[in-house]
């Protein structure tokens, strides 16, 4: 029998002014990674405008996927693009990048933002950006839009650096959806707009079902109908057997790396003296004249690495 564990989100403020609330599903104290996925924020529908001024990232990819609304993304690479439902924005931070994110319409925002941790061999690649409009496919009675990797009959060409998958499933009936998958992958299923059953385990709305590697199929089901759509987000991947140090918007491999990146960014925005690489974080032009977001103070203790969880497949 499959062993699916249900993970509860914690609610945190986000952005300039801290007025935008998200459900942070990953990371959790008991679950830091699902494959290479290391971060998952779930939001909406929320009428408050998203305002995230210039901020930095290192050694990760950001993945933005919307169900409703629109977000304008600008970055230090010169990208200026609006992402809408059915489209994926993927920004690879590599050795260092900055970007901004702002609501582009009055329509409430609803969607997810995820990060992938770049593996050691690829974590210092040059920063880059991709935008891709997906082509949903019908699977059983349901519609599936794959934004990363391959899931069933759908796939996405965006570049990732470890084996992984990300997809939105829109259930339109209570017929099960059974998908053959790589048995090396671990999986998470986020229930967005209603209860979803993951291998017959109930995952309530806004929660995540997690399953360890060792299974060749994913079985999903929801109490849906043509007039009552239920949505889920599926993420999975081959476990990343590397310890990562994750603090604020940085992913590193040591406390010292995080300290150096913070100093470089704070020097770049003129908030503090110091740093050893003034070119680490080229700044993104301001939106609405909002100043760059300063990094919070470092804790008084050494930052500890997050380990890949080694659960026992049931």
CATH code, domain carrying 73: 2.60.120.10
pLDDT of residue 46: 86
Average pLDDT for 291-310 = 90
pLDDT of residue 314: 39
Q: Say if 302 falls within a structural domain.
A: no
CA dihedral sign of residues 150, 155, 161, 165? negative
Confidence bin at 205 (pLDDT 50/70/90): very high
| Token representation of residue 192 | 């967005």
Q: Say if 30 falls within a structural domain.
A: yes
Q: Say if 223 falls within a structural domain.
A: yes
HSE toward the beta carbon, residue 84, CA cutoff 13 A = 5
Residue 206 scores a pLDDT above 70: yes
Q: Say if 308 falls within a structural domain.
A: no
Average pLDDT for 265-281 = 95
Q: In 10 A of CB 248, how many CB atoms?
A: 16
pLDDT of residue 312: 44
pLDDT of residue 90: 98
**The residue count for the chain:** 314
Q: Say if 283 falls within a structural domain.
A: no
pLDDT of residue 17: 66
pLDDT of residue 278: 85
Listed range (11-15, 104-108, 243-247) with the worst mean pLDDT: 11-15
Q: Say if 196 falls within a structural domain.
A: yes
Q: Say if 266 falls within a structural domain.
A: no
Residues 36-55 have pLDDT tens digits of 999 999 999 988 899 999 99
Q: In 10 A of CB 80, how many CB atoms?
A: 13
Q: Say if 294 falls within a structural domain.
A: no
Contact 252, 243 (CB under 8 A): no
Number of domains in the chain: 1
Domain containing 210 equals 4-237
Task: Please state, in angstroms and rounded to a whole number, the distance separating the CA atoms of residues 1 and 287.
Answer: 51
Could you give the C-alpha distances from 4 to 10, 11, 20, 113, 176, in angstroms and in order? 19, 23, 30, 23, 17
The pair phi, psi for residue 220, each rounded to 5°, is -125, 145
Task: Please state, in angstroms and rounded to a whole number, the distance separating the CA atoms of residues 307 and 104.
Answer: 37
For 233, the 3-state DSSP assignment is: strand
pLDDT of residue 248: 97
């Amino acid at each position: 029998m499959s062993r699916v564990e249900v993970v509860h989100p914690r609610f945190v403020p986000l952005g300039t002014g801290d007025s935008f609330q998200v459900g942070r599903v990953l990371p959790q104290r008991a679950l830091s990674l699902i494959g290479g996925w290391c971060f998952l924020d779930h939001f909406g529908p929320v009428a408050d405008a998203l305002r995230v001024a210039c901020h930095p990232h290192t050694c990760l990819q950001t993945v933005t996927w919307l169900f409703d609304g629109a977000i304008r993304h600008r970055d230090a690479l010169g990208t200026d693009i609006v992402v809408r439902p059915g489209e994926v924005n993927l920004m690879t931070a590599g050795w260092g990048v900055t970007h901004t994110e702002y609501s582009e319409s009055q329509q409430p925002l609803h969607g997810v933002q995820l990060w992938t941790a770049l593996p050691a061999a690829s974590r210092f690649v040059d920063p880059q950006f991709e935008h891709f409009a997906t082509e949903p496919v019908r699977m059983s009675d349901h519609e599936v839009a794959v934004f990363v990797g391959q899931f069933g009959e759908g796939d996405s060409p965006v570049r990732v650096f470890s084996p992984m998958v990300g997809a939105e499933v829109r259930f339109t009936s209570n017929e099960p959806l059974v998908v053959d998958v790589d048995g090396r992958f671990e999986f998470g299923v986020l229930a967005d707009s209603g209860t979803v059953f993951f291998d017959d385990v109930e995952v309530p709305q806004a929660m995540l079902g997690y399953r360890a590697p060792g299974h060749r199929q994913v079985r999903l089901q929801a109490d849906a109908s043509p007039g009552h759509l239920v949505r889920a987000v599926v993420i999975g991947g081959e476990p990343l057997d590397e310890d990562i140090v994750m603090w604020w918007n940085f992913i590193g491999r040591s406390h010292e790396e995080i300290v150096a990146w913070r100093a470089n960014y704070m020097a770049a925005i003129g908030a503090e003296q110091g740093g050893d690489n003034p070119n680490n974080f080229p700044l993104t032009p301001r939106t609405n004249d909002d100043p760059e977001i300063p990094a919070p103070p470092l804790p008084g203790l050494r930052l500890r690495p997050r380990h890949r969880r080694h659960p026992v497949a049931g």
